[in-house]
Amino acid sequence: MTHVFHRNPKQTLPYAVKGDGIHIIDSTGKSYIDASGGAAVSCLGHSHPVVIDAIKHQLDQIAYAHTSFFSSQAAESLADFLSSRAPGDLDHVYFLSGGSEAVEASLKLARQYFVEIGQAERHIFIARRQSYHGNTLGALAIGGNEWRRKPFLPLLAPAQHVSPCYPYRDQGSHESDEQYADRLAQELDDTIERLGPQNVAAFVGETVVGATAGALAPVGDYWKKIRQVCDKHGVLLILDEVMSGMGRTGYLYACEEDGVVPDIMAIAKGLGAGYQPIGAMLASDRIYQAILNGSGFFQHGHTYMGHATACAGALAVQQVIEHEQLLENVRQRGEQLRRELHQALDEHPNVGDIRGRGLFVGIELVQDKASKQALDPGLKTHARIKQEAFSQGLMLYPMGGTIDGVHGDHILLAPPFICTEADIHEIVKRLTHTLERVLPRQA
């Protein structure tokens, strides 16, 4: 018998047959609230008529034209939309089909930039231990998720890793946000000095960490301080906003809130909201000009990059978000979500931390609140939570993993930007019920 090679072949999955706003309906008629947007993707829900019409309209014109022969109005308009709203001089947009591709392109552009400007020794990438940048080999090489990397270690290019900005576990009790951010910036500075600044190409980080830690936002002026260290050594700053960008934190680009401008930025998930597969890399004018006036060719490319159908869908998504002022809703509903989670779960003995920005919210679970001792990894609590929530018609994105020897069980919430106040109540209600069943409070 032939069948789909699912990522977890032992599992039998229901078929998703219909989208209805923030709900997905399966073939038995059961409805699920998509409180994680899949994996922080579906920011407009599953049935937005404007986006569906835009995609159909584009398909009526032409299905596919290779980007070595043609551009399209959809790609040009989307690039214009994204660059005109991007901070600094991130004026140039290179389209791809997803997040890992956007990260791979970012790494290659950084490397090629240094080759073009006569600094070919610069080849080392520094990232953080608590990070996920994608599953392709280049992105996996810089990522910090030990479980995802382990089987492939012999294939991964060496990368350097520094400490994540993880206040819940790492900030000293007498250390202010600024002192903590200074300490981390100093660690990066020391690492670059040790490696030799002339050898280092770029520092790569998720503006707000998603898939390894559940919406871990940096403290104070962390990113400004990191930017200063990069500038001091002529090292590029690459921000991975594949998950945290495109409005998820309440700002179109998450780094706007941090007042920092990277040299290169990767975006994906919320860009197309799942209606079509699309990602993009934004590059600063300085980098673009170096390629243009150097070899005149970026040595990269994929068959489906800049696909007009995907660009038309993504443009419609972004226009709807802007016209309907949904980022304001993201900020308000995000505050409501965190407030209600605190009310419902602060007293729960296994809820260690509730954190995040906008509709990008994480919960860290622990065995013991006072010592922050993690749950036994063998219990696979995150997987049990996912299963229990799903049976209750709630889609969550729980994850477990070991960082710096500490196991973590986290839940990531990333509901669609169209959520109402009542939707948030219902999500908190079902989530609380799920936790009470998987981790019952002792009487």
Half-sphere exposure of 287 (CA within 13 A, CB side): 32
Instruction: Say if residues 443 and 433 touch (Cβ distance below 8 Å).
Output: no
203-262 residues in contact with ligand PLP (CB under 6 A) are 206, 210-211, 240, 242-243
- The answer to whether residue 105 forms part of the interface with ligand PLP (CB under 6 A) is no
Output 273 or 351, the one with its CB closest to ligand PLP: 273
User: What is the rounded CA–CA span in Å between residue 161 and residue 158?
Assistant: 10
Residue whose CB is nearest to ligand PLP in the complex, by number: 99
Nearest of 320, 370, 403, 329 to residue 173 by alpha carbon: 370
CB of 121 to ligand PLP, least distance (A): 27
Pick the piece of the chain touching ligand PLP (CB under 6 A) from 25-33, 97-105, 290-298, 422-430: 97-105
Output 19 or 37, the one with its CB closest to ligand PLP: 37
Pick the piece of the chain touching ligand PLP (CB under 6 A) from 132-140, 165-173, 214-222, 342-350: 132-140
CB of 434 to ligand PLP, least distance (A): 22
Instruction: Say if residues 381 and 400 touch (Cβ distance below 8 Å).
Output: yes
| Sheet of 23-26, strands arranged across | 16-20, 23-26, 31-34, 394-395
Instruction: Say if residues 265 and 99 touch (Cβ distance below 8 Å).
Output: no
| Number of chain positions touching ligand PLP (CB under 6 A) | 15
Q: Are strands 31-34 and 23-26 parallel, antiparallel or unpaired?
A: antiparallel
- The answer to whether residue 275 forms part of the interface with ligand PLP (CB under 6 A) is no
Pick the piece of the chain touching ligand PLP (CB under 6 A) from 131-139, 306-314, 354-362, 412-420: 131-139
- The answer to whether residue 99 forms part of the interface with ligand PLP (CB under 6 A) is yes
Mark residues 34-53: x for contact with ligand PLP by CB under 6 A, - for none: -----x--------------
- The answer to whether residue 100 forms part of the interface with ligand PLP (CB under 6 A) is yes
Angstrom distances, CA of residue 231 to CA of 260, 389, 441: 12, 45, 50
CB of 241 to ligand PLP, least distance (A): 7
Instruction: Say if residues 395 and 34 touch (Cβ distance below 8 Å).
Output: yes
Tokens coding 50: 């404007």
Residues forming the site for ligand PLP (CB under 6 A): 39, 98-100, 103, 132-134, 206, 210-211, 240, 242-243, 268
